[in-house]
Amino acid sequence: MNKERALVVDDEQLNLFIIEEFLAQEDIELELHSNPLEAWASLSAPDSNFSLVVLDRMMPDLDGMELLRRMKREARFADIPVIMQTAASSPDQVREGLEAGAYYYLTKPYEPEALISIVRAALEDRRVRSLLRSRAAHLEEAQALIRSVEYRFETLEDVSSLVPVLAAMCPVPDIVAPGLSDLMVNAVEHGNLGVTYQEKSLLKWEGDWEAEIKRRLALPQFHGRFATVRVERGPEAVTFTITDQGDGFEWSKFLTFDPDRAFDPNGRGIAMAKMMSFAALEYQGKGNVVVARVER
């Protein structure tokens, strides 16, 4: 199996050396550039195959924000996560980066564990999204016959199995699949199993998230809990209604990208789903019901 490749761009050679040292034990092939123009030339080459880009925000000739904007103008870079490392961490500056597509942030200086955790989170998000999109594309023809259906799910494995089936009911399954996955995973972990935002952040940093989900699923107080996803296919839209058995949450602050959460390994899924996967997304009541609509 080929190593995943990461493009790292920083005009300071010392910073490149530090990143290389921090990631030495990760199974990642690094391509390091101190010249952002040369980095862009490598990234935009016809045969480039990077899985991740790590940018410094402030560089001469071509700063990180402009390089990011160039990436977002080309569809072939849409699935490459970008980590922005910077000393510029004011809310407005972070918000600018989030809106441009840098969903992962690191403030200099940082510890090795911070870089490793955010790199792992970004690559895992990319792998999951790519897999879901691939599966959904193969089911589209058969699912076009369904007008309404409801499924129950309890585990992360259930979510992985169902998302391609559900997304295939939509005109462009590969766009819908990642957003559906985020919403359904939230129903399992935060809704039914009561994992808080802060707990998930810590579990992600420590690499224990999936193990904790499995542990909670086996606890008596959570045994038998399930969530449902109902699909209605009308002439103008496909509507997904996801309901869990939890106590709800303060959902309004997660509908947009929050600079205060940009440095965490989690907390961006709902906003990304709303922006990239659905024409409309709204939570109802206490937050244990979410309705997402895809235009046909």
Say if domain 131-295 classifies as CATH 3.20.20.70: no
Q: What pLDDT, on a 0 to 100 scale, did the predictor assign at position 257?
A: 78
Walk along the chain (296 residues) in steps of 10 and give the mean pLDDT of each run.
88 93 93 95 93 91 89 86 79 74 81 89 85 66 73 95 88 88 95 93 86 95 96 93 94 83 78 90 95 95
3-class SS of residue 57: coil
79's CB contacts (< 8 A; 6+ apart) are: 126, 129, 130
Beta carbons within 10 angstroms of residue 134's beta carbon: 13
Q: What pLDDT, on a 0 to 100 scale, did the predictor assign at position 217?
A: 95
Kindly list the domain boundaries of the chain, sorted by start residue.
4-110, 131-295
C-alpha span between 122 and 138 (Å, rounded): 25
User: Can you spell out the DSSP letters for 214-266?
Assistant: HHHHTSGGGTT--EEEEEEE-SSEEEEEEE-SS----GGGGSS--GGGTTSSS
Please name the residue that has the structure tokens 């949450």. 249
User: Looking at domain 4-110, which CATH architecture does it have?
Assistant: 3-Layer(aba) Sandwich (3.40)
Q: What pLDDT, on a 0 to 100 scale, did the predictor assign at position 140?
A: 57
What's the order of all strands across the beta sheet hosting 227-233? 148-153, 227-233, 237-243, 289-295, 280-284
